[in-house]
Amino acid sequence: MKVYSCIIVEDEPLARNLLTAYISKVPRLELKKAFSNALEALEYLRENTIDILFSDIQMPEVTGITLLKLLKNKPLTILTTAYSEYALEGYELEVYDYLLKPISFERFLKAVEKGINRLDGNGTKEVVVVQESSTSNNQDYIFVKDGTKLIKINLGDIQFIEGLKDYVCIHTLTKKIVSLQTMKSLDSALPENRFVRVHNSYIIAVDAIDTIEKDRLVIGKNTIPISDTYKKAFRELIDKKQIGAL
């Protein structure tokens, strides 16, 4: 059984002690150091390699986000913070999980087990669950995994989906939802007559398109590229929509 090394970066003594206690309960984790600021952690990480980083976001002088940006080789990172609005930026920096304070041991353990599975090479992507409407043959909504929750998203609210490495960001009319899964899993799950992939990093809702140009389209204030790989399929779908409207 492999044991994975980790460090804590947390300026609050109580939170640092809590994480230390949690880590001591997990046999497959070995705590190397616990730092009260990111500068000390950065210096340590320049000379040492670890497997898992537990880091707060809001800290004096250097934040957890800045620390990640400064690291050339990022360990598997689990962010801890009391401010949920930082979640999206954290995911974009390849953060593996995001723990909102106060952190329960149960939630901590779920994040750690998932991270260890990834390091063991057994990690799996979250599966999107698609439900069919009870009144028609068209899919009306999907459920996506967000941490420990399943969130229901009406398909009509989706504007476009953006790929962020191991995560996707689903842009709806009112909010953004980040979920751990692949673009491929979403692409195969969404109805083909309503959604189309236009780029390695983008799936768009056809009904949400405002304008189409040669190699890009506009949805609201967002300009989305159309790559050569997906251009033909996209044009064919748009042509069908044009014929159907005549």
Provide the greatest CA pair distance for the chain: 68
| Residue listed under structure tokens 């809590």 | 18
Q: For the chain, what is the domain count?
A: 2
Residues 99 and 12 in one domain: yes
Residue range 29-57, pLDDT digits in tens: 999 999 999 999 999 999 999 999 999 98
β-partners of residue 197 are 203
Asked whether the whole model's pTM tops 0.75, one would answer: no
In this structure, what CATH number is given to the domain that contains residue 135? 2.40.50.1020
Type of residue at 164: L
Residues 106 and 187 in one domain: no
Residue 127 predicted with pLDDT over 70: no
Residues 105 and 144 in one domain: no
DSSP three-state, residue 144: strand
Q: Tell me, what's the pLDDT at 131? A: 43
- Alpha helix (H) residue ranges in the chain: 13-24, 38-47, 64-70, 87-92, 105-120, 183-189, 228-245
Residue 199 predicted with pLDDT over 50: yes
| Residue listed under structure tokens 């989706």 | 158
Is residue 84 very low, low, confident or very high in pLDDT (cuts 50, 70, 90)? low
Residue range 201-217, pLDDT digits in tens: 999 999 999 999 889 99
Please report, rounded to a whole number, the percentage of residues in the chain having pLDDT higher than 70: 83
DSSP three-state, residue 57: coil
Which of these three, 120, 143, 175, is where a domain ends? 120
Range of the domain at 18: 4-120
Contact 206/165 with Cβ under 8 angstroms?
A: no
Residues 111 and 10 in one domain: yes
| Range 129-148 average pLDDT | 56
Q: Tell me, what's the pLDDT at 125? A: 44
Please report, rounded to a whole number, the percentage of residues in the chain having pLDDT higher than 90: 45
